[in-house]
Each structure stands twice: as structure tokens, then as C-alpha cells.
């Protein structure tokens, strides 16, 4: 299996699918791994693009390091992958926590290799409520997730999958297979990595990074997202990037790569090919 070596020696697993074409790098959500993007990677590769997806450190098949489970290191690991594969003209696509990772990549490494950015139900600009971010969610929300992670993370992942992540708690129509896959991928994440990543996705302030985005940007968000509420995430991010385009999926929740797959694939392909 292919790996790149991060600056501190961590091994970062990645998939590299397709016969060429413009590269698309897919960054996954918490506590998942690159398997969360496999349907999208296959779709893009079959439509003439090079689809690359990696397991964030601590997740999936990458090293479970004790340190580095925060956004700066996630972004630097992504830069190691991009540099190792010498990717240019790439489109960065990030779902949820992955949206934070690709925005922080731009903030730390610029856009010289980037053709476009797609934020899918993404955590920027800042999820946590602070004095200068009153629109955010209270710390008790994330403390509750941390408590669940510490007490019984297997049950936490089942509760997420059966509830707000896919929106199964709204109408109970999300396939068991999707929910099982969430639990399986979650349990492949290291316990410390998953715990620390809760702070990374909730308390990292991406507003300075968004200000540095100078490439075409598409923001996609469901207006019934129970994990990253539309008003906290996509609605505000689009206003922080010059020229960004917002596409709202009416009635959709957080897990758009699964629950709204066909529509998302069509929107991604149209953006990448434009």
C-alpha cells in the first residue's frame, strides 16, 4: 500500500486512482478515513480525473502518532503528500473536518498548486462559540462528544451514525450499510487521535485561512445539517472568500458524500471541469 512520510516520520496512507487527468484531492471527516470518499474517488477517476484520498494521521491506515493531532500538522501532512506526488492544478475537496484541513493547507502553503477549492458541509470558519464568534456552538456540545469518546467510543460512533451524522434520526431512511461503515471506519481511528481531533475541528479558527483563498471556491452545505449547522458553517464561509459560490442542499444533512451522492458528484464534476 502506498504511503508518504511526514516531516516527523509519520506514515500517511493514500489512494491514487485513475489514469491521469487533473488531480482531485479528497479530505475526509472525523473519525473516518479515505474510504469515506471511495465512491467519489471512483466516480471522478471514471470521469477522467486523478482522484487522491489520504488517511489523516491517527486515522485509518496512517500512523497513530501521540503528537500532531491538530490542524497545522494535518495541513503539513497534506503538503507532504502533495509535494511527493508533485501535484499541480489540483482541486482540493474537503468534507467536514477535511474542509478545515484543506483551508488550513491554503493558509500555510498557499495556492500555487491549487486550481480550486470545494467545501462540503465543512467546519470553517469556526465551530466553537467565543466572544468574537457568538454564532458558534457552545463548548458543552464538544465536551459532550469528548466525554462520549472517552467513555465508550464504539457506542458514540453508533449513536452518531444512527442519529445526526446521516440524519437517520429525522426519518429513519438511511441505509444500515452507511451506518455500519461509519462505525467501522471510526473504530480504525486511534483513540487519542479521535479525542484530540474533536478540538481540532471545533476550536480551530479558520477565518485567517479563508482570507487567503484566492482560487475559485464552491461551498456546498445542507440546510438540515445537525453536525455543522448551515448557519455556523457554509453560510458564513461563503461570505469570507471573494467570489465563492454557495450551493445549498435543501433538507439535506451532514453526510452529503453518502446521502446526496449523485447530486454531489454532478456538482463536483461541473466545478472541476469548468
CATH number, residue 170: 3.40.50.1820
Count of structural domains within the chain: 1
Is 191 designated active site? no
Residue 207 pLDDT > 90: yes
Q: How far apart are CA 237 and CA 228, in angstroms?
A: 12
Q: Which of 225, 258, 260, 267 is catalytic?
A: 225
Sort 3 into a burial class: Cβ within 10 Å, 0-12 / 13-18 / 19+.
middle
The answer, yes or no, to whether residue 221 has pLDDT greater than 80, is: yes
Share of the chain above pLDDT 90, in %: 98
**pLDDT tens for each residue of 42-99:** 999 999 999 999 999 999 999 999 999 999 999 999 999 999 999 999 999 999 999 9
62 assigned to active site: no
Q: Which cell goes with 31?
A: 473519525
pLDDT single digits (tens) 229-263:
999 999 999 999 999 999 999 999 999 999 999 99
Q: pLDDT tier at 20 (50, 70, 90 boundaries)?
A: confident
How high is the pLDDT of residue 171? 85
* Exposed e or buried b per residue across 96-118, where buried means at least 16 C-beta atoms within 10 angstroms of its C-beta: bbbbbbbbbbbbebeeebbbbbb
Give 26's pLDDT tier (boundaries 50, 70, 90).
very high
Segments forming the whole domain that contains residue 134 = 3-273
Query: What's the whole-model pTM score?
Result: 0.97
The reply to whether 225 belongs to the active site is: yes
Catalytic, out of 254, 258, 260, 267: 254
* Catalytic-role residue among 62, 96, 237, 252: 96
Amino acid at each position: 500500500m502506498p504511503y508518504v512520510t511526514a516531516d516527523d516520520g509519520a506514515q500517511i496512507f493514500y489512494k491514487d486512482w485513475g489514469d491521469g487527468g487533473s488531480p482531485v484531492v479528497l479530505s475526509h471527516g472525523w473519525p473516518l478515513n479515505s474510504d469515506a470518499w471511495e465512491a467519489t474517488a471512483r466516480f471522478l477517476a471514471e470521469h477522467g480525473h486523478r482522484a487522491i484520498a489520504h488517511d489523516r494521521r491517527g486515522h485509518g491506515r496512517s500512523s497513530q502518532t501521540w503528537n500532531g493531532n491538530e490542524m497545522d500538522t494535518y495541513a503539513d501532512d497534506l503538503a507532504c503528500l502533495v509535494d511527493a506526488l508533485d501535484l499541480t492544478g489540483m482541486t482540493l475537496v474537503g468534507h467536514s473536518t477535511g474542509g478545515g484541513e484543506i483551508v488550513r493547507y491554503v493558509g500555510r502553503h498557499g495556492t500555487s498548486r491549487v486550481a480550486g477549492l470545494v467545501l462540503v458541509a465543512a467546519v470553517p470558519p469556526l465551530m466553537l462559540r467565543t466572544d468574537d464568534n457568538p454564532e458558534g456552538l457552545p463548548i458543552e456540545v464538544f465536551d459532550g462528544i469528548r466525554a462520549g469518546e472517552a467513555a465508550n467510543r464504539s457506542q458514540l460512533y453508533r449513536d452518531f451514525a444512527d442519529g445526526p451524522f446521516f440524519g437517520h434520526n429525522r426519518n429513519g431512511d438511511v441505509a444500515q450499510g452507511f451506518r455500519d461503515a461509519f462505525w467501522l471506519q471510526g473504530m480504525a481511528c486511534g483513540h487519542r487521535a479521535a479525542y484530540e481531533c474533536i478540538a481540532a475541528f471545533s476550536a480551530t479558527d479558520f477565518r485567517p485561512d479563508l482570507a487567503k483563498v484566492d482560487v475559485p471556491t464552491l461551498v456546498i452545505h445542507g440546510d438540515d445539517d445537525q453536525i455543522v449547522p448551515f448557519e455556523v458553517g457554509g453560510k458564513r464561509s461563503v461570505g469570507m472568500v471573494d467570489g465563492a459560490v454557495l450551493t445549498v442542499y435543501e433538507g439535506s444533512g451532514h453526510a452529503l458524500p453518502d446521502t446526496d451522492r449523485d447530486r454531489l458528484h454532478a456538482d463536483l464534476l461541473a466545478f472541476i471541469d469548468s
